[in-house]
Amino acid sequence: MSTANGDFEIQPHQACEQDECHEHECEGHETAAIGCGGAATMESEQEFYDSLPDGHMIRTFMDEHATIRKSLDALEAIANKLKKNPEDRDALLLEMSQLGGQLVKAEPHHQREEEVLFPVLSQRGLAGPPSVMAHEHIEIRRLKHILADKPSLHMGDDGLPVKPIVDAALVLVSTLRQHIDKENRILYPMSMQVIREERDWSQLKERADEIGYM
Ligand SMILES: [Fe+2]
Ligand SMILES: [Fe+2]
């Protein structure tokens, strides 16, 4: 379910209108499914992760998210240091550029979501949330490329302001963190409700393998 600002809602658990939310009973009901999958805490995210079999496509997505989150933490620290006009500006710009490059290399992650997972969710009647996520990928990609390409152009020239780069980095950190939270806590749990057959997941994983990993 999309909101006016392009986000999709985390419905409270009560959205299921049941005393206790049973995932089977929510099948096909998009709002309720978001509620069931949308327990927005790190603890429930960990519980969901632990419930996934080793090698499951969704588990791999979440492992990759953990790696991306570490890069975002590092990127945020560098951006905050650069804000203060430090003497080691060029070294920080180089680090930022390298982190931008690492994030660009995460492209197969987004590609697998867009080309393998999202279409199946849409085919099965869950079109809104994947569409919001795919739309966010566009802005995330744009910002990643700025960070991979621009910092090196500012190295060796203290006259060039780094503020636009710092701003882009901090927007990327915030946008991508929120994006990951929504996928881990809402979209992926919903996916497990919508796609129930192990055989279906095996077929999806084969297609994911063809795209490759970050
Ligand atoms: Fe995504
Ligand atoms: Fe993702």
Phi-psi region for residue 28, left (φ > 0), alpha (ψ -120 to 50) or beta? left
pLDDT reported for residue 22: 36
Q: From the CA of 65, how far away is ligand 2's center (Å)? A: 6
pTM: 0.82
Domain boundaries, the chain: 54-211
Partnered with residue 2 across adjacent β-strands are: 8
- Cα angle value 175/102/108 (rounded, 5°): 80
Q: From the CA of 168, how far away is ligand 2's center (Å)? A: 20
* Residue 210: how many other CB atoms lie within 10 Å: 10
pLDDT in tens, 70-115: 999 999 999 999 999 788 999 999 999 999 999 999 999 999 999 9
DSSP one-letter code for 87: T
Tokens 């085919």 sit at which residue? 123
The class level of CATH for 54-211 reads mainly alpha
pLDDT reported for residue 141: 97
pLDDT in tens, 28-45: 334 334 333 344 578 899
Q: From the CA of 154, how far away is ligand 2's center (Å)? A: 30
Label residue 7 exposed, middle or buried (CB < 10 Å: 0-12, 13-18, 19+).
middle
pLDDT reported for residue 11: 38
Instruction: Identify residues whose C-beta is under 5 A from ligand 2, the ion.
Output: 183
Encoded amino acid at 118, one letter: F
Give 24's pLDDT tier (boundaries 50, 70, 90).
very low
pLDDT reported for residue 58: 98
